[in-house]
Amino acid sequence: MIKVFLIALGRMVKGDTKFYAWLAFLFVVIGLGSNAYLNQLDKGLITTAMRDQVSWGFYISNFTFLVGVAAAAVLLVIPAYLYHFKPIKEIVLFGEMLAITAIIMCLLFIIADMGQPLRAWHLLPLLGTMNFPASILAWDVIALNGYLFINIALVVYTLSRLASGREYKLSLIFPLILLSIPWAVSIHTVTAFLYNGLSSRPFWNASILAPRFLASAFCSGPALMLILLQLIRKFSKIEIDNKAIFKIAELIAYTMAINLFLLGAEVFKEFYSGSVHKAPLEYLYLGLHGKSLLTPWMWTALLFNITAFVIFLVPKLRESFLTLNLGAALIIAGIYIEKGLGLVVPGFIPDTLGEIYEYWPTGSEGIITAAIWAAGALIYTLMVKFSIPLYTGELLDENKHSQIKA
């Protein structure tokens, strides 16, 4: 088995010109980002557009979006294991790897956002002084890392069974799979509570926040999965049933319906009651005191989400790959704007003393963010590349042949 792993590891870094070009591109972006990060470390977070008024920005927005992506892996797990929906069962592995990648990216975004990253160990239980259970951030550290380990365990187990050519024993990992479902919901709930629990920020301090978080996560995560699965299918011998893809698309239609409904509920409550607490939502969709930097983005996001909803709702449209991919792209962009800029930033606008500071990320924040995405893409590419020959069984077959010859 170890031998098979080593061979797979060797193949992981071998590929055609396109593959190397892709890796080179990722390394260039990572390099530029690392350079910008070193500069940020040296000068401080003043290199970002964040200030005391808007003290969290693009990094935390991306973090929030990615927690959603990670949580969404569970959307594949539920039908696969609980309802034994075969076509999806076969691709759960790639969902779990996406979860691992997303969580690693989350951790990178947190580190990028920290004023004193060398002191990160103060956060750890036992070594540091983790403020558990009072601080929801402490909960989040546990939830995210726990989820990371669960998914690593599932992936490692599945791969090692595949490498030794045996069917995996469901009875052995089923409890872990069962655990991963509420855990996935919990990482998102805890992350939502992180904002939700702050009475200082009326925009976040609304009970609808956690449900909205989950609903939008269950749109964007599977949408990303749809595109990744098609790519995997294109660049490898792995066969992924169209049925699985269309099923995921159907699920997205439901989650997007819920997402839009919850947004409507929030808009109604704020605007109809019309208390001073509607200010952040007003800032987002209409502009406030002549400041409206985010307004065009929010309307774009809404337009994207509604269009995508229609695409995924109509069977004909979601079962044609052209419109399916358009819909998936619209959802990813729509939720990225809505959950990123549209959720974290307006929590601070207007700030607690009524000031409106308009936040827009600097170039430095942009390139560091791009580098973390590139790092994620690199991790996912290599993980998939590593597991494909194991998954298809081709490596195992070759290995057997060579052993027989010897």
Partner 1 sequence: MSKEIEKASVDRRTFMKGIAAGLAGAVLPGGIAEAFDWDAFLQKHFKEMTDEEIKKVIERLEREAAFDWKKKIHIAATKALPNVKFGYGLDLSRCIGCRKCVHACVEENNQSRTPQVQWITVLRFKKGEKWIDLENSEKYYNPKEVPEKDFFYMPVQCQQCENPPCVKVCPTKATWKEPDGIVVVDYNWCIGCRYCMAACPYGARRFNWAKPSIPTQDLNPETHYLGNRPRYKGVVEKCTFCIQRTRTGKYPACVEICPVGARKFGNLLDPQSEIRYLIENKRVFRLKEDLNTEPKFYYFFAT
Binding footprint of partner 1 on the chain (CB under 8 A): 43-46, 48, 50-53, 55-56, 110, 113-123, 126-131, 134-138, 141, 194-195, 197-201, 276, 279, 288-289, 347-348, 350-356
342 to 192, 260, 264, 357: CA distances (angstroms): 14, 14, 15, 15
Q: Least distance from C-beta 74 to partner 1, angstroms? A: 25
Torsion of CA 366, 371, 373, 376, to 10 degrees: -160
Q: Least distance from C-beta 45 to partner 1, angstroms? A: 5
Please say which residue, 205 or 230, places its beta carbon nearer to partner 1.
205
Please say which residue, 30 or 141, places its beta carbon nearer to partner 1.
141
Whether the CB-CB separation of 64 and 204 falls below 8 Å is answered with: no
Cα–Cα dist 231/123, whole Å: 38
Please say which residue, 353 or 406, places its beta carbon nearer to partner 1.
353
Please say which residue, 91 or 194, places its beta carbon nearer to partner 1.
194
Q: 10 Å Cβ neighbour count for 283?
A: 24
310 is written with which tokens? Answer: 């229609």
Q: Least distance from C-beta 60 to partner 1, angstroms? A: 9
Please say which residue, 44 or 296, places its beta carbon nearer to partner 1.
44
* Unique residue bearing structure tokens 């401080």: 44
Instruction: Provide the phi-psi class of 349: left if phi over 0, else alpha when psi is between -120 and 50, else beta.
Output: beta
Whether the CB-CB separation of 222 and 252 falls below 8 Å is answered with: yes
Q: Least distance from C-beta 113 to partner 1, angstroms? A: 7
Q: Least distance from C-beta 56 to partner 1, angstroms? A: 6
Instruction: Provide the phi-psi class of 168: left if phi over 0, else alpha when psi is between -120 and 50, else beta.
Output: beta
Quote the DSSP letter at residue 288.
B
Diameter of the chain by CA atoms? 80
178 is written with which tokens? Answer: 């069962």
6, exposed or middle or buried, with CB in 10 Å at 0-12, 13-18, 19+?
exposed
Q: Least distance from C-beta 110 to partner 1, angstroms? A: 8
Please say which residue, 126 or 404, places its beta carbon nearer to partner 1.
126
Q: Least distance from C-beta 303 to partner 1, angstroms? A: 29
Please say which residue, 73 or 194, places its beta carbon nearer to partner 1.
194
Please say which residue, 233 or 291, places its beta carbon nearer to partner 1.
291
- C-alpha angle with apex 133: 132 to 135, nearest 5 degrees? 75
Please say which residue, 195 or 373, places its beta carbon nearer to partner 1.
195
Whether the CB-CB separation of 112 and 366 falls below 8 Å is answered with: no
Q: Least distance from C-beta 270 to partner 1, angstroms? A: 14
Q: Least distance from C-beta 190 to partner 1, angstroms? A: 12
404 is written with which tokens? Answer: 């027989």
